[in-house]
Chains A and B, each alone.
Chain A
Amino acid sequence: MDYLYDLNTFIPATIAAAAGLVVLMQSVYKVKINTIFGVTVFSLVVALLFALRDLFGPVGTSFYDMVAYGGTAAFGTLLVITGTLFCVLISRDYLEAIDHHYGEVYAMILFATTGMVGLAVSNDLIMLFVGLETMSICLYVLAGLIKEEKTGAESALKYFLLGAFSTGFLLYGIALIYGATGSTNYADITALTDISPLFMAGSALLLVGFFFKISAVPFHMWTPDVYQGTPTTLTAYFATASKAATFVALILVMSRMMPEIEGVGWTQAISVIAIITMILGNLIALVQDNVKRMLAYSSIAHAGYLLVGLAAGTADGYTGVLYYLFAYTVMNIGAFGVIAFYERNQALDFTDVNNYAGLGYKQPVMAVLLSVFLFSLAGIPPFVGFLAKYYVFAAAVNAGHITLAVVGVLTTAASVYYYLRVMVFMYFREPHKEFDLVNPGAIFKYALIVLCVLTVYYGVEPVFPMGSLIELLTSYYTETGPAGMAGP
């Protein structure tokens, strides 16, 4: 049974899709929302277990070479499912507090997850497109969840229009590449020996489509508005899972699809974009008073750091990017999660950093968690953000991109200002007025604590003698590979 074998290689996405359908039916029949939440979490946990299994499994392609499994693809799946799981865990209390707790939200998240996994395991430009669209359409819906408010409508409309626009670029690029090569499969395109201008134009458009999705400058305009208008926990989902999926797809495209011919690589273009992105993202983040907008610009800046690793274009670089994606997923969901917790309190507008004054002593655990996540985002040791940045910049230096690394380090230093600013408000300012914070729910709290533990653990991981994450990732790009198969 070929079909069953193929399905087995794609099982996390299959589970997510099936669970999405179940949740959709449940929400129609007005099943209790907690049951729906339970089903979602359960299916994601099962999918996570399968993804963990695939992490050490064989490498290859299935579904007529449409889908890659094992190696980078498996890690991408793991990233997406992890991000989704934590976002769902912190979503329940928050969505309840803002009165938008519908079963369809979970269905949409699960469908989007299906698309993201499809994107992260794509081995064919058609699969890439289908995955991207499945993901995007669900995200457009989620962006407009708070449709009663102007920001929500703005966010959905902006995301939809610009997203559809960028999809147009991507699709046009795919069409041109198909025209130049006669195939949409990565393996066939790599085998190409003769590069036509058509192919160059196609790959440039493809790259533009990707830049839109990962919000690299100058294609970042939608990011702050969308992040601001979307419910905070879903913003975390946008910022982490979807970005991780897109970056993994980008790695797959760069490492598997691009023909190895001199002058064809994307290094030059990506380097320039990376530098602009890092500088602009960090600079604009400096002046943001709205915490969500600040994190939006910070996520643009992080896209810049990730692009540094891609610009290196070596095995080290790809490893670093994968590691960075993991770190970014963990700490960013954490940061958004704590902000979502503060936002649950209707006493003040907790998206404004001025209102964070004195919060440090109200719910000490939450404040400490936020500090940890922000420190990690700023890249301060001993947190995972530091190691991630180290791997990426080291790869860039090794590949001879000194400028990139220097700009990266300088902008990182600048970024410390706006991350620490939040903490300064929390611990060193007097509150404007008296109010009490609600208690965080148990699931919410423990999800954040797990994220915090991950942040700290992987920050000090090299100290421990056990097999580390970076070794696993490196093995994807060496001859032996995890199961003795050649990567990537």
Chain B
Amino acid sequence: MAEAEVNSYVVLGAALFMLLNSAAICVYAERRIASFIQNRIGPNRVGPLGLFQPLADVVKLLLKEDVTPVQGFRTIHTIAPMIPVVTALLTVAVIPFGDGIYVTDINAGVLYLLAAASLGVYGVTLAGWASNSKYSLLGGLRAAAQMVSYELPLGMALASVVIFVGSLSVVDVAVAQENWWFVFLNPLGAVIFIIAAFAESNRTPFDLVEAEQELVGGFHTEYSSMKFGMFFLAEYMHVVINSMLITTFFFGSYHLPFAGYWLPEMSTTAKAILDITVFTGKTAFFIFLFIWVRWTIPRFKFNQVMSLGWSRLLPLSILNFIVIAAILFAINA
């Protein structure tokens, strides 16, 4: 047992380190890719190819003044930015990065992920509420409505995965995809999950929460300094986390496609390196997808967002779930 624990804390440390760094890398990647898509150069002054730009950003944020608006709830205003960061960090605990490489394997992992994801809404909503600014309030309200709306299709899509696995452990979900990725068995669920994940991380085309043209900065209008930086950090961590979740639940986790059929036996170390590489590669692709979509697709209107969530995705995900359940039941019984 002792060895396993050491192992899990090593993974924990590594995962945390990677997650925090990947957020910084994401910022850089986003700006470079955005400028590429818009046919400009992007950050290129700080360090070679502008690689130290995120570092400079952090230093700048740390040195700015921390302002709390008058008549705002000072306590909530302070706590709010910490919530999304903490919940984002909590998520990595149950995600397997390779065969046997995970922090912990709890028997309610999927529910844990859902719970951690739904906690994130508090940060944004409370931030909007505590600021005593109209823009912030609107942003916070929209965030609450939007995130709870898309949590339902997200949950239903996860349920339609769980039905294949027969277990709520995320490790079991990963193992079950050795031969067939769930995106092949459950394509509709995958599409719903990806859309809902986009909405959950408040990224364009679902960034009604910020919507700078109409709400200035949305829920973080009144935030400055590192408090703003935390929201910024949380957004990119959510991008990374959601990419990981998409990979884990639908794109075979650390498995290559149909790996069970053709992948030869190999040593533990080689397998671990391969697994982590595959997982990181897929995650990187989905991070790229997030950025790509953001700079390609314009923002929805709020009523469009809501009606997409409630009258399209939710019924579709419920139907998808029932149909899959019926088919599996017919096959097994």
Asked whether any CB of A lies within 8 Å of a CB of B in the complex, the reply is: no
